[in-house]
Structure 1
Amino acid sequence: MKEYERKQLLERVEREGATVGATIPETIDVQGEAIDLREFVFEIKRRDTVPAGERERVDEAKKNLRRERVQRRQLLEEADISFEEGEELVAAIIGIDRALNALESLGPTDLERESEAQEAADQKRWMSFLKQALGREDANKRGRL
């Protein structure tokens, strides 16, 4: 592969919106083990929250995917490969990025805490509105000056 082709492929991997429209690979070899990546991601995403027992499994998968991404990017950057092999690596890296994005967006959600925070914010906005509507906010400001 020519150097300018390598640069094009590397630029494509690092592009901001590279994962837009990309699909998660059906299977991928990570550390010599074939993983049904698409099925795993969809299985985890189907749930509203990730159970505590699954959290460790998801974290391990993310760690392995990041490691695999780094290795494939290094191959793309340094190995003596053809342009076609480079394009396959780019597709795999972007697919890994897509899977990582999906898994990263799972963050822990505590619905009760989220609901309480939303209620507190609503109450604060309501009180601010009432103070403004009743003119008390201006009176408080004048009294302080």
Structure 2
Amino acid sequence: MPSFTKIAAAAALAVPMLLAIPGTASATTPSGCSSVTQIGSTAYLNVGGQTMASVKQYKGCGKNYSYLYVWEGYRTSHSSWDVCAAIVTNNGHDVQDPRCDHNPVEIWSAGAATLTQCTQALGWTGYGPIPYVNEGDIAVKTDVRC
């Protein structure tokens, strides 16, 4: 039977190891797709002179996805926000199945079957089906990927 001293010593060594594991800022994966790859650049959604979120485009499982991550600095300095993410085609004129949420840390758009088209990831403030529905909505797009 192990002694209390040996158990306590093992626990004391394990706690710092658990505390030393850094948190990751990597994205989860979208619903229904376990493997995605970022394509193109990262865009930054700036609100009131502060970076609110990063917007990225991913491909995987035969679809394109827009991913929006709300920065911790913004989350800690604001009590409420609404954001949306979508894939856009046709030089940004056609919004594909956006997803919107209130106070998320991250949000994935619905997967768009647009791998054969030129696309951009779009992220915006607000809670509308398309950006600029409400005065004051701020939007950003990544670079075009064909």
Which has a greater percent of helix?
A: 1
Which TM-score applies when normalising by structure 1? 0.23
Which TM-score applies when normalising by structure 2? 0.23
Larger radius of gyration: 1
Which has a greater percent of strand?
A: 2
